[in-house]
Structure 1
Amino acid sequence: MAPLTVAITGASGFVGSHILKAALNQGYNTVAISRGAKAAYIKKASSKYGERLRVVEVDNIFTGKIDKEVFKGVDALIHVATPLASKGTPFEEVIPNAINGTLNIVQQAADAGVKSIVLTGSLAAVWNPERSFKPDDWNPITIEKALDSKNPMVLYEANKKYSELAVWEWAEKHPEVEVTFILPPMCFGPYEHEFYDVREDNLSLSIQFMYSFIYPDAQYPVFLLHTDVRDLALAHLNALKAPPTSAIGRKRVFFASPHDLDYKDVFALLAEKRPQLKERFNKREPPVPPLTRVPCDFKRIEEVTGFKPEDMRTVEQTLLDLYDDCLMLEEKWKAEGRDASKLPGSIANIHPV
């Protein structure tokens, strides 16, 4: 039996690069969909994988057209890419681009015969004042309030909420396609360097958050709800083999670490295991987090992704791998004569996501 072919959008991003690597490790044929220079970076590794890795360069999958040949021979789609507010995109266009672009990708995949679609959602789509995380819970944010806020992270919450709602409405009309949403909080862990071109100016947001612990007077993130990015990558692939919706119901899964994590835990772990970082510790008093872990339904997580709590990486594994990777990058950049002192060390006050 020939291996399945999986198309992955956002394959050069922090999460997407891990999904791409995990898919190749599991024997899938892959189609990596990415933009410009990022696609070129992935292509550097294509010779190693031969025909098992096809790289498709796109301009903008949310506002531009996708060549119909992209999905030729593809069995499953993992859609990770998300448009963010940027200098090149007017604030008011981000949410419509996300909704229309996501529906465009999903519809084109279905038209090409793709029968299984897994999408990366976000806890941002669910975050609510009651701190409730049930399958039918949603963030109360409206598009109008998001636009009025002028806050990119509030816009991100609305972006993820309304994009997901649009796909579920589409899925109701297309029961022949299996649709799964996996909703993580912040993703921690090391980079997948083979497919992610890490530079001083493109650190993932979650890594920027964790740098706040080793920069004097930096602003802390508002909480540390998290999952390990490598566990999340495998969860996406495992979801392709989940029972059908007709058997287990709508596959909307909150996927987060089962382990509590407080700010003081980070400092304690680093002080014990990486004492060379103690002189860099942030001197600010950390806040009291509203939650230290997401109250996930692990029975449901196992049903859809195969993960049990004991299968997930420990906080120590996740954080030490993250900081070791960052320290390695710092040394590399310094050896190349690059200024590693300008790494993000002062994080603006971020709205909860």
Structure 2
Amino acid sequence: MRILVTGASGFIGSHTVAALVESGHRPRLLVRNTEAASAVLAGVKVDSGQVDFAPGDMRDAEAVGAALDGCDAVVHAAAVIGVTGKPGEQILSGNVEGTRNVVGGAVERGISRIVYLSSMTVFMPTDQPVITGDSPLSRQRTEYGRSKLEAERYVRGLQNEGAPITTFYPGGVCGPAQSTLKELNEGIAAGLGQVWVMPKGAGVSVLDVRDLAEAILRTVRAPGAPRRWMLGGHHLGWSELADLCDALTGVPCKRMVVPGGLLLAAGSLLDLAKRVRRFDFPLTRDAAEMMVSLPRTDDREPLAELDLKPRPPEETLADILRWMAAEGHLDPARAGALYSV
């Protein structure tokens, strides 16, 4: 089966490619830079000779069309990310036009297995204690949030017409082999390496990227139907997450519990500061909102339909910390007992 994957240079995309290759597929990858993509794939033990590259940008309808031709399935994992405040590049055009070209193009060609990677951002903020794939969409303040919301509405329009698109809403995706530390991995490294700033009583979703990749693999094996599947992973309190790291490493981390309102204010101030001068710091208003008010997710339907049992968070965290220490993202002393294994 010929499967087109976008976003193969990213965290989710690269692990998805690894899962497809391991399962015997030879995926076609829409990438802007084949050398950069090959380097990322090497990190997940995929040789460039095991895939076919289709050079092009998801915003280029002609290039996307050529990549789609002859495919039986499509995984659209590419996105311009903006949650942690990294300098972006045409976020709106990347996420909206790219989705129209890739997902819309797949529907036009009658491809019956289409997977779209959305974001829990489209539901936040929310006052619901548990969110599902059918929870109300929320207004968005940032360019990233608005781009994901517009793309989400476009995909839902296709689904309402019967297009066989499965949308996943992943939680806090984390795991080993991330080419550039971002999101939850970045937060874990900062928490252990410096001080763990955590809002009192709040929680986080922990989803192993390898479990998400396996879910995507199982989804493309059979003709799809319009589905919206939440896959948030394990919901842990921030203190529970820190406790697990302490137990795994044997090295207590420094913690600073702060009121949720203070964290939100800090995120807003940092957003303003980044408009004046660009700098990298993982806290934004959106990220703070996720940290303070992220509810639990209802993952029962995809787990049952795909016969998937996510690995325990202890396993995920142990693999992350070993990998971070080995790759220089974390002082080996902070990995404690794990690094000596």
**Per-residue deviation, 1:229:** 0.8
Amino acid at match of 2:151: S
Q: Which residue of structure 2 aligns with residue 203 of structure 1?
A: 181
**Per-residue deviation, 1:286:** 5.7
> Which of 253, 275, 288 pairs up with 2:229?
253
**Per-residue deviation, 1:82:** 0.8
1: distance between equivalents of 2:66 and 2:93? 25
> Which of 67, 74, 77 pairs up with 1:80?
77
Structure 1 SS opposite 2:157: helix
Give runs of aligned pairs for residues 198-347 of structure 1, distance below 5 A: 198=179, 202-217=180-195, 219-220=197-198, 223-241=203-221, 244-245=224-225, 250-257=226-233, 259-275=234-250, 277-278=251-252, 281-285=253-257, 294-298=296-300, 300-307=301-308, 311-330=309-328
1: distance between equivalents of 2:292 and 2:39? 39
**Per-residue deviation, 1:293:** 6.3
2: distance between equivalents of 1:70 and 1:158? 27
Q: CA-to-partner distance for each residue in 1:102-142, whole Å, 9 max, x for gaps?
A: 11112333344422110111111122331241333233214
2: distance between equivalents of 1:219 and 1:73? 49
Amino acid at match of 2:254: N
**Structure 1: 5+ residue stretches without partners:** 147-153, 335-353
Amino acid at match of 1:30: P
Structure 1 SS opposite 2:204: coil
Q: Which residue of structure 2 aligns with residue 22 of structure 1?
A: 19
> Which of 175, 198, 201 pairs up with 1:189?
175
**Per-residue deviation, 1:319:** 1.0
Matched, 1:121 2:101: no
CA contact (8 A) 2:91 2:147 kept: yes
Amino acid at match of 1:25: E
Q: Which residue of structure 2 aligns with residue 98 of structure 1?
A: 95
Instruction: Report the TM-score, using the length of structure 2 for normalisation.
Output: 0.75
Relative distance call for 1:108 and 1:303 in structure 2 (3 A) is same
CA contact (8 A) 2:166 2:228 kept: yes
Structure 1 SS opposite 2:55: strand
Structure 2 SS opposite 1:224: strand
**Per-residue deviation, 1:84:** 3.3
2: distance between equivalents of 1:274 and 1:211? 13
Instruction: Report the TM-score, using the length of structure 1 for normalisation.
Output: 0.72
Amino acid at match of 1:233: A
Tell me how many residue pairs correspond in the alignment. Answer: 294
Structure 2 SS opposite 1:253: strand
Structure 2 SS opposite 1:18: helix
Q: CA-to-partner distance for each residue in 1:68-115, whole Å, 9 max, x for gaps?
A: 3322321100000112356563xxx53344222211112333344422
CA contact (8 A) 1:75 1:113 kept: no
Q: Which residue of structure 2 aligns with residue 53 of structure 1?
A: 51
**Per-residue deviation, 1:268:** 2.2
Identify the structure with the greater strand proportion.
Answer: 2
Which stretch shows the higher mean deviation, 76-85 or 62-71? Answer: 62-71
**Per-residue deviation, 1:220:** 4.7
Relative distance call for 1:263 and 1:244 in structure 2 (3 A) is closer
**Per-residue deviation, 1:16:** 0.7
Structure 2 SS opposite 1:327: helix
> Which of 155, 159, 163 pairs up with 2:151?
163
CA contact (8 A) 1:128 1:138 kept: no
**Per-residue deviation, 1:320:** 1.1
CA contact (8 A) 1:33 1:39 kept: no
Q: Which residue of structure 2 aligns with residue 347 of structure 1?
A: none
**Structure 2: 5+ residue stretches without partners:** 261-290, 333-341
Q: CA-to-partner distance for each residue in 1:270-311, whole Å, 9 max, x for gaps?
A: 322212x43xx234226676568623140x12354332xxx1
Q: Which residue of structure 2 aligns with residue 151 of structure 1?
A: none
Amino acid at match of 1:68: G
CA contact (8 A) 2:113 2:223 kept: no
Q: CA-to-partner distance for each residue in 1:163-182, whole Å, 9 max, x for gaps?
A: 11101213334x3x410001
Structure 1 SS opposite 2:132: coil
Amino acid at match of 1:264: S
Please give the root-mean-square deviation of Cα atoms over the aligned residues, in Å.
Answer: 3.1
